[in-house]
């Protein structure tokens, strides 16, 4: 457990709440809870046999893990949850004696939905050691009831507040030694259409030409530009959080335009998206006949989730079109220009004829 030299020192902690990065200053050596801090779990270590007296409290809040001397009312050790790397269980066993008392608490769904005391009413219970790992060092709390439950509780807290993607990106931003990270994030904002595109381009050029290296230098020189990035960051994070849904909607829109405007069949040139990993997506076209060029035009006029993704999809379609043109397979070599319906669809796609003219000509072709 860490013990600060100055018991009045303020420490900044950052965490994610509802996808937004928040920061607060707390005094981790104080027995009093800081602003926004809630005690979520506690366990009292007692002395005495007949008249048991609580002498030490082990506590976990949404900000820190702490050991409190109840006799002198002081914090004798703490770990900030933002510094915690892992938590494991060791040396579990069944015991018959009830020692101490532990409490889990919930808070409006922000934390684990566990509430009420945790102890065994029978003659035996599971106890074990909880080991907190911080920067390779191990801090052990021994003989705790329900150690696995406590481990899961802490891991859930770490996952929902401190090990989120938004926070990891923010940490990279805070520790960068060059302007490259800012430029990379601005590129992503630009790619997803977040913020004023001309302003982002202007800021990028200024950052690209700077020789400043440290974050502090960048903040001092480009305070206005970085302040603008702060204003668009919530929108950027919201986009990343809903990426899967955005891509699904994008595909639905493409397939809708394909059917309604260009009169392609639902099953023809079926455009699909598949998530292949964290934030990785694979797009494919199935059951396509001679209408890939029409689909290409549909994609060009559909507002993309990401310009980069749209570009890669168009390149994929162009590659497929070239492959078919060069193929010696008679089926794939079929000349779409000799197919009246395909020619008609292309004329509609290019705006050479109206929908009404398309329908009339289509009927004539089908009647022949």
Say yes or no: 332 and 362 in one domain.
yes
CATH, residue 62:
2.30.29
What is the structure's pLDDT at 107?
Answer: 38
What is the residue whose two structure tokens read 């003219």?
357
My answer on whether 269 and 330 are in the same domain is: yes
Q: Are residues 150 and 53 in the same domain?
A: yes
pLDDT grade for 5, boundaries at 50, 70 and 90: very low
Percentage of the chain exceeding pLDDT 90: 13
Residue 6 counted as domain residue: no
What stretches of 239-298 adopt beta strand conformation (E)?
270-277, 280-286
Tokens, residue 264: 């392609």
Same domain (yes/no): 236, 346: no
**Inside any domain, residue 2:** no
C-alpha to C-alpha distance for 346 and 39, rounded to whole angstroms:
66
Residues 30 and 152 in one domain: yes
pLDDT tens for each residue of 146-169: 899 999 999 888 888 887 655 565
357 in any annotated domain: yes
Residue that has been written with the tokens 């007692």 in this structure: 46
- Residue 56: which of 93, 31, 81, 79 has the closest Cα? 31
Is 3 domain-assigned? no
**Structural domain that includes position 143:** 11-162
Q: Kindly state whether residue 169 falls inside one of the protein's structural domains.
A: no
304 in a domain, yes or no? yes
Cα–Cα nearest to 1, from 67, 59, 83, 91 = 67
Q: Is the pLDDT of residue 59 over 90?
A: yes
d(C-alpha 7, C-alpha 309), whole Å: 52
Q: Positive or negative CA dihedral for 67, 70, 75, 77?
A: negative
**Does the pLDDT of residue 69 top 60, yes or no?**
yes
What pLDDT does residue 140 have?
92
Q: How far is residue 191 from each of residues 73, 147, 168, 185, measured CA to CA in Å?
A: 54, 46, 20, 10
pTM above 0.95, yes or no: no
Give residue-wise pLDDT tens across range 265-304: 777 777 777 766 555 666 676 655 567 777 778 888 787 7
pLDDT digit string, tens, across residues 299-324: 887 877 777 778 777 877 777 777 77
Per the structure, the count of domains in the chain is: 3
CA distance 114 to 108: 11
Provide mean pLDDT across the span 5-9: 56
Domain identity same for 141 and 69: yes
Residues 301 and 318 in one domain: yes
Answer whether residue 171 is part of any domain: no
Residue 25 shares a structural domain with residue 158? yes
The region that residue 39 occupies, defined by phi over 0 for left and psi between -120 and 50 for alpha, beta otherwise, is beta
Domain final residue pick, 241, 269, 289: 241
Is 170 contained in some domain? no
């Amino acid at each position: 457990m860490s013990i600060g030299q100055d018991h009045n020192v303020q420490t900044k902690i950052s965490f994610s709440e509802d996808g937004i990065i928040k920061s607060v200053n707390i005094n981790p050596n104080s027995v009093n809870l800081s602003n926004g801090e809630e005690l979520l779990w506690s366990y009292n270590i007692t002395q005495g046999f007949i008249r048991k007296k609580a002498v030490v409290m082990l506590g976990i809040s949404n900000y820190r893990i702490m050991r409190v001397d109840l006799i002198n009312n002081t914090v004798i050790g703490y770990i900030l949850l933002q510094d915690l790397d892992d938590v494991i269980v060791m040396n579990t066993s069944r015991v018959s004696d009830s020692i101490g008392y532990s409490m889990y608490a919930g808070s409006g769904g922000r934390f684990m939905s566990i509430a009420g005391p945790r102890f065994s009413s029978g003659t035996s219970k599971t106890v074990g050691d909880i080991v907190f790992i911080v920067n390779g060092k191990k801090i052990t709390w021994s003989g705790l009831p329900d150690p696995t439950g406590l481990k899961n509780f802490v891991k859930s807290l770490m996952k929902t507040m401190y090990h989120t993607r938004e926070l990891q990106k923010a940490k990279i931003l805070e520790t960068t030694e060059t302007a490259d990270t800012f430029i990379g994030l601005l590129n992503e904002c630009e790619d997803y259409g977040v913020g004023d595109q001309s302003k982002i381009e202007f800021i990028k050029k200024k950052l690209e030409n700077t020789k400043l290296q440290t974050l502090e230098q960048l903040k001092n020189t480009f305070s206005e530009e970085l302040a603008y990035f702060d204003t668009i960051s919530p929108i950027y994070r919201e986009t990343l959080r809903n990426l899967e849904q955005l891509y699904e909607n994008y595909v639905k829109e493409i397939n809708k335009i394909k059917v309604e405007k260009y009169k392609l069949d639902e099953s023809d040139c079926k455009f699909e998206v598949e998530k292949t990993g964290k934030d990785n997506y694979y797009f494919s076209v199935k059951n396509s006949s001679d209408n890939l060029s029409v689909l290409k035009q549909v994609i060009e006029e559909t507002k993309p989730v990401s310009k980069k993704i749209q570009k890669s999809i168009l390149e994929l379609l162009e590659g497929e079109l070239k492959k078919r043109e060069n193929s010696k397979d008679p089926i794939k070599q079929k000349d779409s220009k000799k197919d009246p319906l395909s020619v008609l669809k292309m004329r509609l796609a290019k705006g050479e004829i109206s929908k009404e003219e398309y329908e009339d000509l289509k009927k004539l072709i089908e009647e022949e």
